[in-house]
């Protein structure tokens, strides 16, 4: 099996992916900068199950340090493929700190691509986001629809810029690329700033849950195990195919309204939620809804985990880890 470099390996999705790739027999090199957006200790816990695996090597590095820093850190390590998950995440925070998101997500991606070009590494799985569709009236979202003037948050713009960069490197240098737009991934190890994680903590603390808008906004919630299955299939696809460029949605193709989600979280926790309605937050979209038929045709991608089962898995993990505080 070739070596796979996973950027953002200590994060929510990245840590699950490393476990999956190691179980599949890959040699994995993991890279993370422990961005202080949430506690370093949580990310270290994420890696606890595989950090000492004989086929895993960890590097602490910020991609903004440049391609030379990557070359120095990795040396002659043979890398067959890169899964680029590392990014400064979060729609709301990007509205408050747009420069930081463009710096991390656009400049960092550029440095990674340039290092790949210099090293002759020809295969990339790039993690994009459903946020690039903005409030498009065309639903479900298809990969071939126009995204001009679609992005309504700096985070979304940074992800779409990443997609454009990967195409540029494909066009100029023959990089083989699979861009995957993730749709609201949830499950064990989910970031503590995300809705489901916050709702569970609030319910357990006996506090009301804020409802932004009228509760009809909807998200295409996708269980982390299904997303990771899609990534693993994408890795295998890239390794087996001649150079190309594809973009896919990795979603569940079933939007769930915010009020429905809150009540489902309440059932999983066993506590009836109290609601406090508040204005919509800047940058938030109304609905995300994936047409995942292309991923199904290309990779055999077919999500298996229901919202209720995924929430049970999350609550079980959260209770066993005594919750996840936002600060270290």
Tens digit of pLDDT for each residue in 146-156?
A: 998 999 999 99
Q: How would you classify the pairing of strands 275-278 and 256-257? A: unpaired
In a domain? residue 192: no
Q: Is position 173 within any domain? A: yes
Q: Is residue 197 part of a domain?
A: no
Q: How many domains does the chain have?
A: 1
The question of whether 155 is a catalytic residue gets the answer yes
pLDDT, position 166: 98
Predicted local distance difference test score (pLDDT) of residue 71: 96
Read off the pLDDT of residues 31-62 as tens digits, 9 standing for 90 and up.
999 998 889 999 999 999 999 999 999 999 99
3-class DSSP assignment, residue 176: strand
* pLDDT > 60? residue 144: yes
For residue 24, being part of any structural domain is answered with: yes
What pTM did the predictor assign? Answer: 0.96
**Is pLDDT of 324 > 80?**
no
Give the tokens for residue 184.
């609201």
Structure tokens of 122?
């020809």
Q: Is residue 7 part of a domain?
A: yes
CATH of the domain at 34: 3.40.50.720
**pLDDT at residue 322 in the model:** 60
In this structure, is residue 309 part of a structural domain? no
Burial group, residue 189, by CB count within 10 angstroms (0-12, 13-18, 19+): buried
Distance CA 314, CA 311 (A): 5
With respect to residue 126, please indicate whether it lies within any of the assigned structural domains. yes
What does the pLDDT look like over 218-266, one tens digit per residue? 999 999 999 999 999 999 999 999 999 999 999 999 999 999 999 999 9
Catalytic residue among 38, 155, 223, 301: 155
Reduced to 3 states (helix: H, G, I; strand: E, B; else coil), residue 73 is helix
User: Residue 125 sits in which domain range?
Assistant: 3-184+222-251+290-303
- Domain membership of residue 244 (yes or no) is yes
| Confidence band, pLDDT 50/70/90 cuts, at residue 328 | very low
CA-nearest of 23, 1, 19 to 11 is 19
Torsion of CA 247, 3, 1, 42, to 10 degrees: -80
């Amino acid at each position: 099996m070739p070596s796979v470099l996973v950027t953002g390996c200590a994060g929510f999705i990245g840590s699950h992916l490393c476990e999956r790739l190691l179980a599949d027999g890959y040699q994995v090199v993991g890279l993370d900068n422990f961005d202080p957006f949430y506690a370093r200790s949580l990310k270290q816990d994420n890696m606890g199950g595989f950090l000492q695996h004989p086929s895993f090597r960890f590097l602490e590095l910020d991609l903004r340090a440049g391609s030379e820093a990557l070359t120095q850190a990795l040396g002659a390590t043979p890398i067959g493929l890169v899964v680029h998950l590392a990014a400064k995440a979060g729609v709301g925070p990007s509205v408050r700190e747009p420069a930081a998101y463009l710096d991390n997500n656009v400049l960092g991606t550029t440095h990674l691509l340039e290092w790949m070009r210099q090293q002759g590494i020809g295969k990339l799985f790039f993690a994009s986001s459903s946020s690039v569709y903005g409030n498009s009236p065309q639903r479900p979202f298809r990969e071939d629809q126009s995204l001009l003037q679609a992005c309504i948050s700096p985070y979304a713009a940074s992800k779409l810029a990443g997609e454009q960069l990967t195409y540029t490197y494909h066009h100029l240098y023959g990089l083989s690329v699979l861009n995957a737009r993730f749709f609201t991934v949830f499950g064990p190890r989910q970031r503590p700033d995300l809705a489901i994680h916050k709702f569970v903590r609030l319910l357990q603390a006996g506090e009301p849950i804020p409802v932004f808008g009228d509760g009809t906004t909807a998200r295409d919630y996708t269980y982390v195990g299904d997303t990771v299955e899609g990534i693993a299939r994408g890795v295998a696809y890239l390794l087996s195919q001649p150079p190309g460029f594809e973009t896919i949605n990795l979603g569940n193709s079933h939007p769930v309204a915010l009020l429905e989600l809150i009540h489902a979280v309440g059932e999983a926790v066993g506590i009836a939620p109290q609601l406090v309605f508040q204005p919509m937050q800047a940058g938030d979209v109304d609905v995300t809804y994936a047409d995942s038929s292309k991923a199904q045709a290309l990779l055999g991608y077919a999500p298996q985990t229901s919202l209720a089962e995924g929430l049970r898995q999350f609550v079980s993990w959260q209770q066993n880890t005594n919750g996840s505080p936002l600060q270290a």
